[in-house]
Structure 1
């Protein structure tokens, strides 16, 4: 059984995607309450969590928000729930959850499908700096 960090939400992201990596760095800056921990989908920890949740990665290959012992969220719902944690102007993202997920995910899927073409791709997963290392599970 995987040991999950206590009282933390886990964000699984595409570690070779430039857009995803920039988004993770932005989330870290906004995460003043130290709510989140991160792992890439490609990492051993990421793969263990995906297996634990029984997620089909042929259908989801970008972002997953996992709240241990509670629930997990995919695609646009995951993104909106993440940004809804930051207060201020980010509270607006919570209202977008009222739109049906099939509409939100349609837009999300267009971006996800084209993310490498539009934003580029790394040859390997991001290696966190020593300052950020405590935010990552691997």
Structure 2
């Protein structure tokens, strides 16, 4: 499995917490994380048609493809270790249903989880 890039909204509390969660549980350092608001993130977001100033999804970029919404979440889960991988069973749910649920959470994420003023990741040497 090759390394993949997770392009996320660094100003979103849910997104930032999810990134910290995934970074601690990733297998074989299979993921690197880039905030859309960073210079590198802005370029990647633009290349894949996502507005970095008002994103409605995150992306997982791997093997020359960009996954978004529920497909991106499932692709991230595939690269994690531990019981959380069991959530991959959601891949059997119809994509329109998965994306509908993803969109409901994404639309309300700042209301429920707040905004981040800085993008804080754990140190790179932390497992």
If the length of structure 2 is used for normalisation, what is the TM-score? 0.83
C-alpha RMSD over aligned residues:
2.4
Any gaps of 5 or more consecutive residues in structure 1?
A: 1-6
- Name the CA distance, whole Å, in 2 between partners of 1:111 and 1:45: 26
**Contact kept in structure 1, 2:14 and 2:109, CA below 8 Å:** yes
For structure 2, the residue ranges without an aligned partner over 5 or more in a row are none
CA distance in 1, matches of 2:125, 2:103: 30
C-alpha displacement at 1:87, in angstroms?
4.3
Per-residue CA shift, 1:5-35, capped at 9, x if unaligned? xx42000001011111110000011013100
Q: Is the 8 A contact 2:16 2:120 kept in 1?
A: no
Partner of 2:101: 107
Equivalent-residue separation in structure 2 for 1:17 and 1:133 (angstroms): 24
- 1:16 lines up with 2:8 in the alignment: no
Matched residue SS, 2:5: strand
